[in-house]
Amino acid sequence: MGLNKLSELADVVRSKNAGPAQLTIDIFFRNNAAYLQAVASPALSCAAVADLYQLDAAQVRRFDLPTLSAMKLSMPRRLCAGDPGDGDVYGAQQHAPLLEVLL
């Protein structure tokens, strides 16, 4: 199986605040095969996601949801929602760095 971008394997990739200091990213895959490819990929490990978001690996939590062919990632926001310099108060655009990740 070749490498695919996350955006090619998922129907929905969205982010949102989980409180003012936490971010959650939901990924719903097109089918079970895409989900299994993603779960097995080192590109979606906590360490790889932490590197992408410039966090420590221990700050990223990953929840695999096989019955939904979905994955959830949780991590701290760089800035608390609404703080000066926060350009995304709802956390709705924070999933963008993951879209081009190759799995």
**Mean per-residue pLDDT over the chain, rounded:** 96
Other residues' Cβ atoms within 10 Å of the Cβ of residue 29: 23
Region 93-102 average pLDDT: 96
Does 47 reside within a domain?
yes
3-state secondary structure of 79: coil
Is pLDDT of 1 > 60? no
Q: What is the CATH number of the domain that holds 48?
A: 3.30.70
What percent of the chain stands above pLDDT 90? 91
Number of domains in the chain: 1
Does 102 reside within a domain?
no
CB under 8 Å to 65, separation ≥6 — which residues?
Answer: 71, 72
Is pLDDT of 78 > 90? no
Tell me 23's DSSP state.
Answer: E
pLDDT digits over 24-33, tens only? 999 999 999 9
Query: How is residue 78 written in tokens?
Result: 């760089």
pTM: 0.93
> 21: domain range?
6-82
Does 87 reside within a domain?
no
